[in-house]
Amino acid sequence: MDACPHCAAQSISLRAKISADPASPARCPACQGNSYVANKVSTSISVGIVLLGCTWGLVAALTNSPLPLYAIIPSIAWFFFRTWRSAELLPIDADTVEKHRRTRQTVTLLAFLLSFFM
């Protein structure tokens, strides 16, 4: 559990934290406050996963052995959970959440309509 940025209660689960974004934030059961994790966290996790895969692949190529490839999955899992655990939850108010939600709906609708012309 992570601390809510509004009331400091240990009430936000790791699962809620991972799926929280400005349009669908994690909600604290104690104070009903909304919070999310900045988009740069998931971007840095993606970059980290690619770098870990490339590093272990390079080690496997240099040592001419497939054994380093077995370290890819555990190291990626360790990196994934370590990064999400240390990611900071940011508070967000209900009006901003609604604005992000409407923007997401508009973009989704535009993408849907655009798909008819592809």
Would you tell me which residues interact with Zn ion (CB under 5 A)? 4, 6-7, 9, 28, 30-31, 33
Q: Is 64 left (phi over 0), alpha (psi -120 to 50) or beta?
A: left
Beta-bridged to residue 89, according to DSSP, are: 37
- For the chain, the straight-line distance linking the first and the last C-alpha, in angstroms and rounded, comes to 44
Closer Cβ to Zn ion, 9 or 60, answer by number: 9
Provide, rounded to whole angstroms, the least separation between the CB of residue 18 and Zn ion. Answer: 18
Q: Which is nearer to Zn ion, 22 or 33 (CB)?
A: 33
Q: How far is the CB of 20 from Zn ion (least distance, A)?
A: 13
Question: How many other CB atoms sit within 10 Å of the CB of residue 77?
Answer: 10
CB of residue 5 to Zn ion, shortest distance in Å: 8
Q: Would you say 31 or 109 has its CB closer to Zn ion?
A: 31
Distance CA 55, CA 47 (A): 12
